[in-house]
Amino acid sequence: MNLRPEPLAFELSSPGRVGVALPKCDVPASPVPAGLLRPELRLPEMDELTVVRHFTRLSQKNFSIDTEFYPLGSCTMKYNPKANEVAASQPGWKGAHPLVADERNQGSIELIWRLQESLKAIGGFSAVSLQPAAGAHGELSGVFMIRAYHLARGNPGRVKMLIPDSAHGTNPASCTMAGLTTVTIPSDADGGVDLDALRAACDETVAGIMITNPSTLGLFERNIEKIAKMVHDAGGLVYGDGANMNALTGVLRPADVGIDVMHFNLHKTFSTPHGGGGPGVGMVGAAPVLAEYLPGPIATRKDGTYAMAMPSKSIGRMKAFYGNFGVLVRAYTYIRMLGEEGMRRLAESAVLNANYLKARLEKAYPIKYPRRCMHEFVAMGNFAEGVHTLDIAKRMIDYGYHPPTIYFPLIVPEALMVEPTETESKETLDAFVDVMLKIAEEARTDPELLRGAPHATPVGRLDEVAAARCPVLCYRG
């Protein structure tokens, strides 16, 4: 890590510097009406080398998959193959415009169509839309589809969405944006959906259920078929949150167990880069009952020619144009390189790696639901007097590991959610275990060491409370 303070661009600025030379204007100038001109533009002024050093040094203040093991649960921080980037940087993609006629964008549409077909096969869906730009955007699409389905059938009173208490916060937030109310379903002693509570909530106002499987506890919901039947019998539909699909490729097609609509995060399972927060893709797949409600347009093929078309009862567009195409190219490249055999090997290895870590760590880090896990597991960090999960997480940084997801899911106190992914070797996992056991020991013998961590980063723990109380959100020169 680069520990030296890096000035803000504004502080590196010097009047008159330019970082890019532009062509001289080769046409006569046209005057801009004086009243329209902006009086000043306070952007930094830097030469190219200063810009290059600035961003290179900033990059060195990040942990990343390319530099460190990143076992961030629920986020599936797997390696992003470099071939994905080469594939996405073809001039034929970068210079393609969404409003050129379909017959002159056949390459793009064929790629979308092929990716749609691959994801249909992996999920068991009848149709998919690649338009949504992120997992939460896919969720929102799915909830809109469920709402539109009930309205089309003359059931405006179906406004209640059932959501297990272990769910991601985006699930209830998406429902609010679709005008639905949410009912929280508690978990049972095993970490699964409490079936009695679910039965009691299933009435004529139910729109559906949003279920994450494997759950955010990293556990497979063994009653998934019973749950789907219960909701279907009550007239509702089943939304699958595919955040954790990395455990299931080639293992289970979600549509086979009653999922009606589901999103996959292509930036998780299908190895497109997270990019410090995006862009992602929240592909939505649907069973026949909801296929015509998908957002669009989606790619179609007829007589060897490809076209973009709107499904007949579509909820409409979720964004302008056709989705995050550059991300789709990366996901397609990855699926093409893995193929049928690789898809199953992916999930097997992800689950094996997680169970291996769990087996080696569970004596030191207690686990609330000690069942066999899938691709991730949730431990607890409150086993030593005066030491919290946050302290353990920060201490991991000193040893060169990105901390796991912490304090989520909310139903596990002091949660530490560990997801190794399939792209890590046994050697990496073993080294990680050694460090985690050492930290557990330190937690008992030298808690102050943990509470003061991290010790070797560009900044120490930041005062987030003060930052929110008096927010400074822009440079004030």
Partner 1 sequence: MPFIPNTDADREAMLAAIGVKSVEELFSDIPAAHRFPKLGLPAGLSELEALREIEALAAKNLSASNSAWFLGAGAYNHFIPAAVPALASRGEFLSAYTPYQPEVSQGTLQAIFEYQSMAAELFGVDTVNASHYDGATALAEAVLMALNHGGSSRPRVMLPAAMHPEYKEVLRTYLAAFSVELDEYADEPAAAAKRVDARTACLVASYPDFEGRVHDLSGVADPVHAAGAVLVVNADPIMLGLLRSPGSMGADIVTAEGQALGNAMNYGGPFLGMMGATQKLVRKMPGRIVGQAADHDGRRGFVLTLSAREQHIRREKAVSNICSNQGLVMLQSTIYLEALGKSGLRAVAELCWNKAHYAAKAIAAVPGYAVAGGTFFKEFVVKTPVPASEIVDRLERRGVVPGLALSRYYPARTHELLVCVTEMNTKAQIELLAQSLKEASV
Looking at residues 197 to 236 of the shown chain, list those that interact with partner 1 (rule: CB under 8 A).
Answer: 219-220, 222, 224-225
Least distance from partner 1 to the Cβ atom of residue 186, Å: 15
| Residue 364 contacts partner 1 per CB under 8 A | no
| Residue 451 contacts partner 1 per CB under 8 A | no
| Residue 186 contacts partner 1 per CB under 8 A | no
Which CB atom, from 127 or from 180, has the smaller least distance to partner 1? 180
**Contacting partner 1 (CB under 8 A), which of 277, 302, 303, 385?**
277
Least distance from partner 1 to the Cβ atom of residue 35, Å: 7
Integer Cα distance of 181 and 194 in angstroms: 20
| Residue 189 contacts partner 1 per CB under 8 A | no
Phi and psi at 71, nearest 5°, equal: -80, 55
Integer CA distances (angstroms), 194 to 20, 376, 377, in order: 61, 21, 20
Q: Which residue has the tokens 């002693």?
A: 189
DSSP structure class, residue 246: G
Least distance from partner 1 to the Cβ atom of residue 205, Å: 16
Binding segment for partner 1 among 135-143, 283-291, 376-384, 441-449 (CB under 8 A)?
A: 135-143
| Residue 180 contacts partner 1 per CB under 8 A | yes
Residues 398-437 that bind partner 1 (CB under 8 A): 402-403, 405, 408, 422-426
| Residue 27 contacts partner 1 per CB under 8 A | yes
Q: Are 380 and 368 in contact (CB under 8 A)?
A: yes
Helix H, strand E, coil C: the string for 307-339 is EEECCCCCCCCCCCCCCCHHHHHHHHHHHHHHH
User: Going residue by residue from 73 to 112, which x/- string records binding to partner 1, judged by CB under 8 A?
Assistant: --x-xxxxx-x-xxx-xxxxxxxxxxxxx--xxxxx-xx-
Integer Cα distance of 360 and 353 in angstroms: 11
Integer Cα distance of 412 and 410 in angstroms: 6
**Contacting partner 1 (CB under 8 A), which of 204, 256, 434, 448?**
256
Integer Cα distance of 334 and 269 in angstroms: 10
Least distance from partner 1 to the Cβ atom of residue 300, Å: 16
Integer Cα distance of 342 and 364 in angstroms: 34
**Contacting partner 1 (CB under 8 A), which of 116, 129, 166, 174?**
174
**Contacting partner 1 (CB under 8 A), which of 337, 363, 444, 448?**
337
Least distance from partner 1 to the Cβ atom of residue 122, Å: 6
Q: Which residue has the tokens 């991300």?
A: 327
Q: Are 287 and 126 in contact (CB under 8 A)?
A: yes
